[in-house]
Amino acid sequence: MVKKSANAGHSKKDKPLTVLERSQEAVQLQRELAETDPSSTKDLATALHDLGVVLRSMGRHEDALLANEEAVSIYRELAEADPTINKDLAVSLNNLGACFPAMDRFEDAAAAHEEAAGLFREFAEADPSLFNGYLASCLHSLGIDFRKMGRYEDAARVDEEAVSIRRELAADMDPSISQDLVHSLYNFSRDLQNIGRLEDAVLADEEAVAVLRNLAETDPTRKHYLAQSLRYLGINLSDLGRYEDAANTHEEAASLFRELAETDPTVNEYLAPALRSLATDLCIIGRFEDGVAANQEAIDLYRKLAETDPTLNKDLAVLLHSLAIAFRKMRRPEDAVPADEEAANLRRDLAETDPTINDDLATSLYNLSIDLNSVGREEEAVCAIEEAVKIRRTLAEADPAHNLNLAECLQNLGAYASHLDRQEDAAQAHGEACTVLRELAETNPRLKGFLASSLHSLGIDLSLIGRIEEAILADEEAVSLRRELAEEDPTANGLLAQSLHNLGVDLAKGGRHEDAVVADEETVSIRRKIADIESTPTAIYRLANSLNNLGVALPCLDRHLDAACAHKQASIFYRALAEMDPAVNKELATSLQNLGMAYQKMGLHEEAMTADEEAVSVRRELAEKDPTIKNTKDLVQSMRNLSDDLRNLGRIHDATSMHEESVTLLRTLAEINPAINKDLAASLQSLGVALSKMDRQEDAAETEEEAVSLYRELVDDDPTLEIDLGSSLDNLGVIFRMMDRNEDAAGAHEEAVKIFRNCTETNPTANGNLASALYHLALALSDSGQQEEAIRACEEAVSVQRRFTAATSTTFIIDEDLANSIRSLGIEPPTDDGDDDAGDD
């Protein structure tokens, strides 16, 4: 074995430089001796060996390497003649192997250690008590070399041998040997983990913990190592999915570290990561309160540690990120936001000097946007996700692997922008997400579902901003993808139905009613099958929605009976659901209203009245419980429909009473929200006509005058209402004439004529209104004795009427009373075939 030369010996009190000088002097002396006395060559090798040890301890690894290489070379040459020298060669090879790792020469290190191990194994066979310790140490180093080279299988093999040897050596519970066993078990566990043998890795960690637990019973200084081993064991248990065991193990580790930190604050550096691991496990097993407590304790420690070591801010950011996730899972977004914000701020600062942090920063911003949105801070959520998108886009330009994360950010940006009614921005974000995902899906078919979801959202955005044709294209692509996915996985049929539902709506908006009905019918078919299987309130609710949509689309194809059947089924489902959830009464009322309209179209006025009466009843109750503008406007609409039903059944008085009630409701709403004045004016206009037909001319005139007054105010802000103003004036003129207020009638009609004449310059269809007003003006002038003016007005009306029907192919109908009045002026009114009503007289 290698022995230190006398000249190389030194006291612990010697300074390193003195030790080096004496070692160098010893080498020099031995080299000179060897030149004249070859028998002293072994002493030169010993001196070189000692010098190598000194140089390595000083960090002068290259110089140490040269000394050790020369020592190995001498021992190898001597061993050829004297095999006993192989023992010294083995020791020197082991030291040589220790020099290479500092220069990243792991292959050379492994070669040296492997050769040394071979020699020690040979010697251990003859004298295990003397050489097994050397062999185990050499195997331990060799395992590290293999790990550094990525040869994990070989590393695990030699580690296992080292563990086996040290286990035997530790049988007498020699503390120093037991500690070596722990080191080998640790390395063995890491290598087993690297080759996927997690269960075996756990066994190795458990053995290390057991050894250290025994040592700590008599030697408290071992508690630190025990706590570390417990943490390593906890990590492997967690990786194995044994989260309960992992949590218990990490809890014990944290407890030990916490105890040690009371007398040695430096232990907090170990306590903090132990708490971090504990928090993760606790959250995984649903113990969020405990997980949050551990996380916050770790955060406090990292925050203090980072004051003196800013590099720990990276770990602090990770903990804050995890804390926010825990709060989100606990449905405490208001607590998640501050953690998200601090994590994002830390990572933003770190990214200024370390661009690799940008990926983590984008993730923090993404999560921050989710939590901000959850607490209603939508504008800030958009700002956060926009920053995340910007980062992700930059990262993706350099590395396409970031494109998926970019698409996720864009998808959320689109959703948040949509919530803020920024539909143009939403469409742009969703459109870019679709472009990115479409390219990714070409090589990764699993992303087709994500692409379909983005297309679905894009279709909604485009529809809302009136880009219907583009919306249809997005809907169709989403349907195609989801149809393909549903063929492979029937559970995807629900998503297919959603896209078909939207496609039907957009096709109807685009005037493609036949295609819309086809889409709606398929939606109903799919959702009916789902409801038959699941029979859950959600499945039935979606089926009812699709039936309602189908019912709305069918009348465009004159399939009123089918529409009524669809709405009737929908109302049955909604009625049943409303018994469990009164919130569904809103949908029930809409379905009943649509059912009433379908019956009206078929002339089934009794059935229409029954449906509309229930709709009014439901909406009246909704408006009483929640008197919002929306609920009240819906009630007014149902009242109007019911009023029409009653009038169709000859119940004029009941119809007018219903109409008057609806006007009263609108008048009350308009006091709160002036925007309602438009609806109020329209209701007053039609109520005036209804009152006139009941021969309540005074009431009719008062009502129509109120309508005119409102329209005069509204026209200033919305010129498109001029035709409505003209119509109310024309109606008022007819009412005045029936009250023998002929001059007032002529004045109202003249103003109406003037308005309609102006409107025809930009809206040719206004010629129909103009012709009707001119006829009415002619009659009023005639009744006032102004025959020439009456005839001129009537002749112009005939001319306008002919021009209108020729240009628009629209039939203009004159009722018999009006026709006879025109003939009394000596003019024969034009006759057109058709069935559309024009004029309010």
Q: Is the pLDDT of residue 4 over 60?
A: no
Closest CA to 804 of 839, 779, 841: 839
What is residue 813's predicted lDDT score, i.e. its pLDDT? 54
Could you report the per-residue pLDDT of 633-667, keeping only the tens digit for each? 899 999 999 999 998 999 999 999 999 999 999 99
Dist. CA 773–CA 242, nearest whole Å: 85
Q: DSSP labels for 662-695?
A: HHHHHHHHHHH-GGGHHHHHHHHHHHHHHHHHTT
- Report d(CA 451, CA 481) in Å as an integer: 8
pLDDT band at 765 (very low <50, low <70, confident <90, very high): confident
Q: Give 337-402 as a DSSP string.
A: HHHHHHHHHHHHHHHHH-GGGHHHHHHHHHHHHHHHHHTT-HHHHHHHHHHHHHHHHHHHHH-GGG
CATH superfamily of 718-841: Tetratricopeptide repeat domain (1.25.40.10)
Query: What pLDDT, in 10s, does the model give residues 157-197?
Result: 999 999 999 998 887 656 678 889 999 999 999 999 999 99
The pLDDT score that the predictor gives to residue 818 is: 54
pLDDT at 823: 67
- Planar angle of CA 636, 639, 644, nearest 5 degrees: 130
Q: What is the 3-state secondary structure (H, E, C) of 776-789?
A: HHHHHHHHCCCHHH
483 CB-near residues (< 8 Å, 6+ apart): 496
pLDDT exceeds cutoff 90 at 368: yes
Q: Is the pLDDT of residue 13 over 80?
A: no
User: What amino acid is encoded at 304 in this protein?
Assistant: K
In angstroms, what CA-CA distances link 590 with 439, 460, 734? Answer: 42, 22, 36
Which amino acid appears at position 765 of this protein? Answer: T
pLDDT value of residue 656: 92
How many alpha carbons lie under 13 Å from residue 404 in its C-beta half-sphere? 11
Name the average pLDDT for the chain.
91
Q: How many residues does this entry show for the chain?
A: 841
User: What pLDDT digit, counting tens, does each position of 374-413 carry?
Assistant: 999 999 999 999 999 999 999 999 999 999 999 999 999 9
Dist. CA 278–CA 558, nearest whole Å? 67
234-246 pLDDT tens trace: 999 999 999 999 9
Place of tokens 């910007």: 390
Q: How far is CA 503 from its chain centroid?
A: 23
Which residues have C-beta within 8 Å of that of residue 833, sequence separation ≥ 6?
A: 811
How confident is the model over 49-94, as pLDDT tens digits? 989 889 998 889 899 999 999 999 999 989 988 898 999 999 999 9
pLDDT computed for residue 808 by the predictor = 61
**What's the token pair of residue 661?**
């009630």
Q: Give CA–CA dist 380/384, Å, rounded.
A: 6
Residue 459 CA to its chain's centroid (Å): 18
Per-residue pLDDT of 115-124, as tens digits, reads 999 999 999 9
Q: Which of 532, 523, 534 minimizes the C-alpha distance to 495?
A: 523
Ramachandran area for residue 673 (φ above 0: left; ψ -120 to 50: alpha; else beta): beta
Classify residue 826 as left (phi > 0), alpha (psi -120 to 50) or beta: left
**Phi then psi dihedrals of residue 242, to 5 deg:** -95, 70
pTM score, whole prediction: 0.73
Going by pLDDT thresholds of 50, 70 and 90, the confidence category of residue 835 is: very low
Coil, helix or strand at residue 814: coil
- Give percent of the chain above pLDDT 70: 93
